[in-house]
Structure 1
Amino acid sequence: MDAAQWDERYRASAGGVWAAEPPAAVQEILADLAPATAIDVATGDGRTAVWLAERGWSCTGIDFSGEGLALAAARPGGDAVTWVRADVHEWEPAAFVDLVVSCYLHLADSAAAVARMAGWVKPGGALVVIGHDVENIAVGGHGPSDPAILYTPELLSGALDGGFRIERCERITRTSADAELRGGHAATAIDTLLHAVRMR
């Protein structure tokens, strides 16, 4: 979907598309990190960026959907985040940050996008990426059905240069207790989760 299609989806969403908080596995990782500077890539309607800001992070949320960002800014706590309408292929931060996080960004060049985001992390900082795994198609989970844009552990780990230490890179299973969409859904879903730390 392009920016115009996402704008339309957010306009029709009656308050937002995604669940109120980040995925449970992402929350678990981020809760162990000391608040500092962060970028939430493909922030959508802002759930991860606001969650971070509420915990003391200085966070920038970027997305190419103006409608999604309008919903994000209107969230309680949304005024604590810097919202930027931008494309991950073109935008550059003014400085390296302590955390780059991205939830469910699926592109034709996902590996290149992850590599680009990794370049924004300062030494000692973390990169956290989660998205639908290619095995999600077989279990009937919500998400894209094109295997070419879905994740695998090999794709995400292969996007990093030798300057990173991989803490986790694995398939995880989500249930309805950790639904991606606002209002939830019953199906089990398979994601790929990456947590890596820049060493140099």
Structure 2
Amino acid sequence: MDAEQWDARYRASVGGVWASEPPAVVREIIEPLEAGSAVDVATGDGRTALWLAAHGWAVTGVDFSAEALAIAASRPGSDAVSWVQADVHAWEPVASVDLVVSCYLHLSDNASAIARIAEWVAVGGTLVVVGHDVENIAAGGHGPSDPAILYTPELLRGALDDRFRIERCERMIRGTADAELRGGHTHAAVDTVLHAVRVR
């Protein structure tokens, strides 16, 4: 979907598309970290960026949908986040950050996009990526049905070079209670999660 299609989807929503908090696995990875600077890639209507800000992070939320960012900016706590309308292929932060997180960013060039956002992580910083796995199609979970834009652990692992230490890169089952869309779903979903630390 392009920016106009996402704008239409957010415009048609009632108060936003996504759940009110980041996926549970993202919260589990980030909660033990010391708060610092962060970029939330493809922030959408702001759930991850707002959660990070509430936990003391200095956050920039980036998305190419103006409608999504308008919803994000209307939410409580939004003044603590810097909202940026931009394409992940063109934008980059003015300085490296302590955390880059991306939830459900699916593009035709996934590997190169992940490699690009990984460049934003400062030495000692953390990269967290979670998205729909290619096995999600057969599982019947909610999400894109085009395997060309879905993740695998091998794809995410291969997007990083030896400057990163991979703490976790694997498939995981997301139960219906942790569905990323409002309202829940009848099928569990298969995601890929990547947690890596930049060591040099």
For residue 51 of structure 2, give the secondary structure of its aligned residue in structure 1. Answer: helix
1:155 aligns with 2:155: yes
Q: Which structure 2 residue ranges, 5 or more long, are not aligned?
A: none
Q: Distance in 2 between matches of 1:44 and 1:71?
A: 9
Counterpart of 1:175 in structure 2 is 175
Q: Distance in 1 between matches of 2:69 and 2:107?
A: 19
Counterpart of 1:63 in structure 2 is 63
**TM-superposition CA deviations, 1:154-173 (whole Å, max 9, x none):** 00000001100000000000
1:43-192 equivalence runs, <5 A: 43-192=43-192
8 Å CA contact 1:88, 1:113 repeated in 2:
yes
Q: Distance in 1 between matches of 2:171 and 2:74?
A: 33
Offset at residue 183 of structure 1 (A): 2.0
Offset at residue 102 of structure 1 (A): 0.2
Q: Report the TM-score when normalising by structure 1.
A: 0.99
Q: Distance in 2 between matches of 1:170 and 1:100?
A: 18
Offset at residue 112 of structure 1 (A): 0.3
**TM-superposition CA deviations, 1:121-162 (whole Å, max 9, x none):** 000000000000000000100000000000000000000011
Counterpart of 1:17 in structure 2 is 17
Q: Distance in 1 between matches of 2:33 and 2:185?
A: 30
Q: Distance in 1 between matches of 2:93 and 2:65?
A: 18
8 Å CA contact 1:19, 1:184 repeated in 2:
no
Counterpart of 2:38 in structure 1 is 38
Q: Which amino acid aligns with 2:20?
A: A
**TM-superposition CA deviations, 1:89-128 (whole Å, max 9, x none):** 0001100000000000000000000000000000000000
Q: Report the TM-score when normalising by structure 2.
A: 0.99
Counterpart of 1:199 in structure 2 is 199
Identical aligned pairs, as a percentage?
Answer: 73
**TM-superposition CA deviations, 1:53-78 (whole Å, max 9, x none):** 00000000000000000001111111
Runs of 4+ in 1 over 3 A off after TM superposition: none
**TM-superposition CA deviations, 1:30-64 (whole Å, max 9, x none):** 10111000000000000000000000000000000
8 Å CA contact 1:40, 1:101 repeated in 2:
yes
Count of aligned residue pairs for this structure pair: 200
8 Å CA contact 1:175, 1:186 repeated in 2:
no
Q: Which structure 1 residue ranges, 5 or more long, are not aligned?
A: none
Counterpart of 2:29 in structure 1 is 29
8 Å CA contact 1:41, 1:103 repeated in 2:
yes
